[in-house]
Amino acid sequence: MPPSLLITGAAGYIGSHCVEALIRQASAYGLQGVQLHLLDDLSTGHREFLEKLCALAESHRLPRPVIHEVSLTDRPALEQALKQARPEAVLHFAALISVAESVQQPDRYVRNNVEGSQNLFRAMQKSGCQRLVFSSTAAVYGNPAGAHLPLPESTPVGPVNPYGETKLAMENAIAEAAREWGLHSVIFRYFNAAGASSSGLFGEWHEPETHLIPLLLRAAARGEKLKVFGSDYDTRDGTCVRDYIHVEDLACAHLLGLKALRAFESQGAAAQVFNLGTARGTSVLEVIRAAEAVLKKDLGRGVGYDIHPRRPGDSAVLVADSARAREILGWEPVHSSMENILRTAWEWERR
Ligand code: UFG
């Protein structure tokens, strides 16, 4: 029987790029003939992405993916989807992801992210699926004052916003499921996902958009000013420093994580946690300057910006030590130069 995989949040930003990579590289990762089950409630994801993924799978001679338009908060429907899919593993991307929004609506984040994930884990247990690849975040580290940079996975966690708290609660629920019923998992703590697929099919598309790179590119295209949130952080130029990682490098980590899950099973059920970043921090002002270089030819003008107050919930510096992913998974970020991130994001925005 060809394998089956269920992907939650497949119509979202990182989920769609990972499914694209899965389709294009299925054979290389021992997933010939894989039957994909794409689950999304389309509250923030895009039907258009699902349609493109279905067409892509068929053009790669894979079975047409099964679409489950299901919310993680709908337990019976979720259990039915798992029962139908009988997946060998679940890749769980679905979540609300805005730091700023989570500060304003913390309860909604708990309902969707924590309760929704618990429903998913219960449905997995019921259907006998014991393999999970989970999307976590650098936001679990919060403001790691005094911590050594870049941050290894052993850095004490301490989220400073509800979004990070919900992701940490999910990591804890995964650890509990490992103890209680032997769930095997890989947990990826993404730093700042950015950029777009080199195929041009997928890219960053959030409504409303809150992320720096798309907002910066849109402001530049319209000749408007970007709002820079805070210039009084304890960083080299006063603006926040982040570790921007290309979404195609994240996708590649998921393929390697899926493969590694089988090997981890012989080593017991504890969750394997990996940071995914480049170990290179870039400040907001440095991103603006890098964007000016990329856009110069197309726009012939610089990128304007204004300094605004700090945005609640923001950490000053988040930079990843990903040595563990390199050593254990053989992962190497190869798409994540700031130039490539901005160029692919710009090509996507122009479409
Ligand atoms: N920023 C601006 N102006 C904007 C938008 C953002 O100055 O218009 C700044 C933010 O204040 C922050 C930096 O740009 O300092 C990056 O902000 P993003 O909103 O792009 O990303 P975040 O770092 O807030 O969050 C992202 C993901 C989270 C993840 C986190 C991990 O959205 O899911 O990276 O580092 F947890």
Phi, then psi, of 127 in degrees rounded to 5: -90, 0
Best of 168, 209, 211 for a ligand 1 pocket test (most atoms within 8 Å of beta carbon):
211
Domain ranges of the chain: 4-194+245-277+319-329
Residue-wise pLDDT tens digits, 11-36:
999 999 999 999 999 999 999 999 99
**Beta carbon of 220 within 6 Å of any ligand 1 atom:** no
Residues 135, 201, 299: CA angle, nearest 5 degrees: 105
**Beta carbon of 284 within 6 Å of any ligand 1 atom:** yes
Looking at the chain, how many residues does it have? 351
Residues 215, 14, 210: CA angle, nearest 5 degrees: 25
Which pLDDT score is estimated for 325?
98
Amino acid at 253: A
**Beta carbon of 211 within 6 Å of any ligand 1 atom:** yes
**Beta carbon of 318 within 6 Å of any ligand 1 atom:** yes
Separation of alpha carbons 183 and 181, rounded Å: 6
Which pLDDT score is estimated for 23?
98
User: Which atom, in ligand 1's list, is nearest to the CA of 284?
Assistant: 14
- Computed over every residue of the chain, the mean pLDDT equals 96
Please list, residue by residue across 112-143, b when 16 or more beta carbons sit within 10 angstroms of its beta carbon and e when fewer do.
Answer: bbbebbbbbbbbbbebebbbbbbbbbbbbbbe
Strand 304-308 with 192-194, pairing:
unpaired
Confidence of residue 269 (pLDDT cuts 50, 70, 90): confident
- CATH class of the domain whose range is 4-194+245-277+319-329: alpha beta
**Beta carbon of 210 within 6 Å of any ligand 1 atom:** yes
pTM beyond 0.85: the answer is yes
Specify whether 109 is catalytic. no
Q: Dmax over Cα atoms in the chain, in whole Å? A: 60
Separation of alpha carbons 116 and 73, rounded Å: 5
Q: Give the residue with greater pLDDT, 116 vs 146.
A: 116
Which pLDDT score is estimated for 50?
98
pLDDT at 145 over 80: no
Q: How far is the CA of 211 from the centre of ligand 1 (A)?
A: 5
Q: How far is the CA of 32 from the centre of ligand 1 (A)?
A: 37
Look at the alpha carbons of 216, 218, 221, 223 in this order and tell me if their dihedral is positive or negative. negative
Confidence of residue 265 (pLDDT cuts 50, 70, 90): confident
Catalytic residue among 141, 163, 190, 233: 163
Best of 44, 136, 143, 212 for a ligand 1 pocket test (most atoms within 8 Å of beta carbon):
212
Residue 51 CB coordination number (10 Å): 12
Best of 311, 317, 319, 338 for a ligand 1 pocket test (most atoms within 8 Å of beta carbon):
311
Residue-wise pLDDT tens digits, 37-61:
999 999 999 999 999 999 999 999 9
